Amino acid sequence: MNILELSDLKLFQAIAEEGSISGAAKRLEYVQSNVTARLRKLEDELGVLLFYRKPRGVQITEKGELFRKYVVTILQMADESIKVLQDHDKPTGSLKIGVVETVTCGNFMNLIASYQSQHEQVTLSLKTGTSVELMDKLKNFELDAAFVTGKLNATNFVIDYSVTDELVILSGKSLEVSALREQKWAISPDGCPFRMKLEQWLEEEGVALSHFIEISSLETILGSVRAGLTSTILPRSVLKGAYEDLYVYPMPEAYQHIETGLIRRREDYVSNAYNYFANLVKKEGL
């Protein structure tokens, strides 16, 4: 029977995530020839090819992808077991939180500052992304929890906090909301719940969303709106600082509200670092 060591699994995971043996060696601070030899030994023990070698990097095989699903779970369980044993009443360790950019416009940074001042021994990591991206990272154990927007009850996550945001139309100049066909919109990539709301509304009005600029950054979206180049749909909470003077128009009632919440995986063990964080969110809000 082959006995796999956690170090071998971590090495495999690093190669898969980096897409190259050299990248994994640098990340793990190993000599590249050592990584190559250990990968070859792992493949010999398993009797399968895990990666296709290419002139530049590697490509994971079908068997490698299957193996990877188990590796992620095994490493997560190993990490969780250590946390269970080492967890104390006082929050310590790491806490990885995902956040959609619109959340950062409100009380979020004050909340983070408050948490860090109370729990300095917790190493806090914040990752931004779309709701879809963050939920994928959460499923893959790359995050401990995430602030996302959309239909939270439609997910299979635990919802520890939620709030309903008001969606509004923002513009840098006066506009006639009724003249939808002439509007140029700033929208986020596919999967964004605000974009979905806009598409649904326009479809109901018999207007195709064809006149738009696709932008990934919230700051850039707001900048294009402020410059009068586009209009957009976002939560009212983004109207802070330089964007307080934007023109604001109400959305139709059916599309006026959206949920934002703090979600996590369904697990038996939840660290004290996260419990204290979730309780602070519930107390201070976003």
- In three-state form (DSSP H/G/I as H, E/B as E, the rest C), the secondary structure along 80-146 is HHHHHHHCCCCCCEEEEEEECHHHHHCCHHHHHHHHHHHCCCEEEEEEECCHHHHHHHHHCCCCCEE
Question: Which pair of tokens denotes residue 127?
Answer: 């990752």
Burial class for 83, CB neighbours closer than 10 Å (0-12, 13-18, 19+): middle
pLDDT of residue 194: 92
**Which three-class secondary structure state does DSSP give residue 67?**
helix
pLDDT confidence of residue 183 = 85
Length of the chain measured in residues: 286
Q: Let me know if the fold of 89-164+260-284 is the same as that of 165-255.
A: yes
For the purposes of burial, counting CB atoms within 10 Å of the CB of 149, is it exposed (0-12), middle (13-18) or buried (19 or more)?
buried
pLDDT digits (tens, 9 = 90+) for 196-244: 999 999 888 888 888 899 998 899 999 999 998 999 999 998 888 778 8
CA neighbours closer than 13 Å in the CB half-sphere of residue 166: 12
Distance (Å, rounded) from C-alpha 51 to C-alpha 63?
A: 9
Residue 197 phi/psi, 5-degree rounding, is: -60, -45
Distance (Å, rounded) from C-alpha 84 to C-alpha 78? Answer: 10
Q: What is the model's pLDDT at position 87?
A: 61
Architecture in CATH of 6-85:
Orthogonal Bundle (1.10)
Q: How far, in Å, CA of 276 to CA of 90, rounded?
A: 9
Torsion sign over Cα 210, 213, 215, 218? negative
Query: pTM score > 0.75 for this model?
Result: no
The crossing angle, in degrees rounded to 10, of helices 32-46 and 6-18 is 110
Please give the structure tokens belonging to residue 70: 């188990």
pLDDT of residue 84: 64
Give CA separation, 121 vs 88, 214, 228, 272, in Å. 12, 40, 46, 12
Is residue 185 a contact partner of residue 198, using CB atoms and an 8 Å limit? Answer: yes
3-state secondary structure of 52: strand
Q: What is the pLDDT of residues 124-148, one digit of tens each?
A: 999 998 898 999 999 888 899 999 9
CB-based contacts of 280, cutoff 8 Å, min separation 6: 111, 114, 115, 118
> What's the confidence (pLDDT) of residue 19?
93
Domains of the chain, residue spans: 6-85, 89-164+260-284, 165-255
Query: Residue 107: its pLDDT value, please?
Result: 85
Write out residues in the chain with pLDDT < 70, as ranges: 1-3, 83-89, 177
For 165-255, CATH number out of 3.40.50.970, 3.60.110.10, 1.10.760.10, 3.40.190.10 equals 3.40.190.10
Question: Which class is domain 89-164+260-284?
Answer: alpha beta
Q: How far is CA 237 from CA 72, 112, 164, 260, 280, in A?
A: 37, 17, 11, 12, 20
